C-alpha cells in the first residue's frame, strides 16, 4: 500500500473508512499486526529515537492521526488520504464489530478507566463483545505479569486489543508484545480511553478539520502537553519546510509487512 513520506516516516495513504475496513478484514483473515496512530508527536519522536522509528517502520499499518500528516500526503499526490483519529477509528471498528461478532480487549488507562470504557462501548453499541480489560501499573510489567496477560489473551482470544497508553509507550508495548499476545490486531489509540469515558473533552469537528486539535488539548492539559505541542510542532514545521522545498531528503525504510491487497 502507498505511503506518504513524512520526515522519513511512512504513513499509509488511508482514511477513516478504509482503515476501519482493513482492520475488519484483518480480523476476518487473521492477517494483521499492530497499528500505529501517528501524528506530529510520533513523527518527531522518530527523529530522535531510532528504536521508535523502527517500531513505525515495522508496523502493519501506520495511519495519519493529525491534519499535518494528511496535508503532507496530499502534497505528495494522495488525494484520498484523510485523518484517522484514534478515538474515531476505535468507534468505527466497534460499530462494524457488532454485526461481525469480532471481539475486543482493552489494555490501558488509569484505575477504572478500562472498565468505564467497556461500559461505554456496550451502551453505544448494543451487542458488542468486549471480552476483557487490563489496567497496567505505572511501571514495566514484571515477567509474571506478562505471563498472566499472555495466558489471559490465550483464553479469551480477542480479535482486537486496544492499547490506551501514551506515545511512545503504547507503540513500544505493541512492538514488544505482539507475538506474545493472542489477537488478530493490536491498535494504539492514546487518548481514546479518556475521551470515550468523558475524562477528556474531544474537540469540535471544525477545530479538528483546521488542524488545531493540538491547541484544544493544550488548553485542557497545559502542564503535561506544552512541550509536546509547542516544541514539537515548531520543529515539525521547520523540518517539513526543508523536506517540501527539497533542501533535505528523507528516505523511507522498506516496509516490513505486506498488507492484503498490495
For the stretch 59-72, pLDDT in tens is 999 999 989 999 99
Q: Which helix (H) or strand (E) holds 191?
A: none
Q: What is the pLDDT of residue 228?
A: 67
Q: What is the pLDDT of residue 87?
A: 96
Residue 251 belongs to a domain: no
Residue pair 19/61 in contact (Cβ under 8 Å)? The answer is yes
Which 3-state string (H, E, C) describes 51-119? Answer: HHHHHHHHCCEEEECCHHHHHHHHHCCCCCCCCCCHHHHHHHHHHHHHHHCCEEEEEECCCCHHHHHHH
Mean pLDDT within 2-10? 97
pLDDT, tens digit (0-9, with 9 covering 90-100), for 178-226: 999 999 999 999 889 999 999 876 656 766 666 666 555 656 666 666 6
Number of domains making up the chain: 1
| Residue (of 136, 215, 202, 195) closest to 169 by Cα position | 136
Q: For residue 170, what are the domain limits?
A: 3-244
Grid coordinates 522518530 are at which residue? 46
Amino acid at each position: 500500500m502507498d505511503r506518504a513520506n513524512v520526515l522519513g516516516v511512512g504513513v499509509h495513504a488511508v482514511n477513516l473508512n478504509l482503515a476501519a475496513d482493513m482492520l475488519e478484514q484483518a480480523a476476518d483473515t487473521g492477517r494483521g499486526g499492530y497499528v500505529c496512530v501517528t501524528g506530529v508527536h510520533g513523527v518527531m519522536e522518530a527523529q530522535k529515537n531510532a528504536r521508535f522509528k523502527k517500531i513505525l517502520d515495522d508496523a502493519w499499518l501506520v495511519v495519519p492521526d493529525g491534519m499535518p500528516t494528511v496535508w503532507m500526503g496530499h502534497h505528495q499526490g494522495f488525494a484520498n488520504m484523510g485523518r484517522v483519529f484514534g478515538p474515531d477509528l476505535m468507534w468505527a471498528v466497534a460499530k462494524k464489530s457488532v454485526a461481525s461478532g469480532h471481539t475486543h480487549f482493552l489494555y490501558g488507562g488509569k484505575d477504572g478507566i478500562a472498565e468505564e470504557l467497556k461500559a461505554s462501548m456496550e451502551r453505544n453499541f448494543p451487542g458488542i463483545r468486549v471480552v476483557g480489560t487490563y489496567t497496567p501499573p505505572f511501571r514495566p510489567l514484571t515477567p509474571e505479569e506478562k505471563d498472566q496477560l499472555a495466558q489471559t489473551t490465550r483464553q479469551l482470544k480477542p480479535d482486537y486489543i486496544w492499547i490506551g497508553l501514551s506515545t511512545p509507550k503504547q507503540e513500544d508495548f505493541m512492538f514488544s508484545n505482539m507475538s506474545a499476545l493472542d489477537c488478530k490486531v493490536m491498535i494504539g489509540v492514546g487518548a481514546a480511553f479518556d475521551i470515550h469515558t468523558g475524562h477528556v473533552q474531544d474537540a469540535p469537528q471544525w477545530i479538528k478539520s483546521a488542524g488545531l486539535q493540538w491547541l484544544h488539548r493544550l488548553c485542557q492539559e497545559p502542564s503535561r502537553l506544552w512541550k509536546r505541542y509547542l516544541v514539537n510542532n515548531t520543529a515539525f514545521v521547520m523540518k517539513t519546510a526543508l523536506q517540501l522545498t527539497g533542501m533535505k531528503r528523507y528516505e523511507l525504510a522498506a516496509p516490513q509487512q505486506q498488507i492484503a491487497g498490495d
